[in-house]
Amino acid sequence: MFDNSETGEYRGYNSEQFVFDGKHCTVVFPDSLSEGNKWIWRTEFLGAFDSVDTDMLSKGYALAYISVSNMYGHPDAVRTMKKFRDFMTEHGFNEKTVLFGFSRGGLYAFNYALKYPDTVAALYLDAPVLDIKSWPGGLGKGVGAPREFEECLSLYGLDKSSVLSFRQNPSDKLEQLLSLHIPVALVAGDSDRTVPYEENGKLLENTYKNGGGDILCIVKKGCDHHPHSLSDPSPISDFLCKRY
């Protein structure tokens, strides 16, 4: 389907790998594509804890990925993502997609949804990073990641002082996401030491529940940052399929 692509296999499904806008991409094809050529989009960590991904593939949804790693949801990454989305629709895929934001992938999924809400059917956020002070900063209860924090600060033109007043985190824009009426499936562990739930997902949960938003919230008791997702993906995939 895609020019200059290499064919491959993903969990028993056919896939194509190619370069778009200088970034490595993967598209995985279900055995029979759903009506409307619907697709889901992993924003980071393709293949990791992918029970929902494979369940959606079995239901006829294609799976796509473009590598914008180490950009922490920066506007430049979001612009590249929009180009990729347009590329997918030019190749016959649905105008909308569901973005899967795992861990730091939550920054990409959330920021893209805010910028281009008309292209988003729903979000699936799994132990998502919603505040760079929390991760990679480690300025709250989390352990932090010093190397990634320096990389993130440099990318955004911040330092350890100015980041304290940075107001472009997803956690600063929760009401805006709520106002866009984008459904959210949220999964996280209540004992996450890397991306503490109370500093990230809990804020989103509260905003959506208090504001009457459409949210599925599954908090795993005693669970750390890993494992992501659920061994039985059906609660998540059922929620997403009903909305897309």
> CB atoms < 10 A from the CB of 66, how many?
26
**Low-confidence residues in the chain, pLDDT < 70:** none
pLDDT given at position 95: 98
pLDDT given at position 20: 97
pTM for the predicted model, two decimal places? 0.97
DSSP code string of the chain = --TT-EEEEETTEEEEEEEETTEEEEEEE-SSPPTT--EEEE-S-TTSS-HHHHHHHHTT-EEEEE--TTSTT-HHHHHHHHHHHHHHHHTT--S-EEEEEETTHHHHHHHHHHH-GGGEEEEEEES----TTTTTT--SSS---HHHHHHHHHHHT--TTGGGG---SGGG-HHHHHHTT--EEEEEETT-SSS-GGGTHHHHHHHHHHTT--EEEEEETT--S-S-S-SS-HHHHHHHHHH-
pLDDT given at position 202: 98
The full set of domain ranges for the chain reads 6-243
The class (CATH top level) of 6-243 is alpha beta
Residue 30 token pair: 């279900």
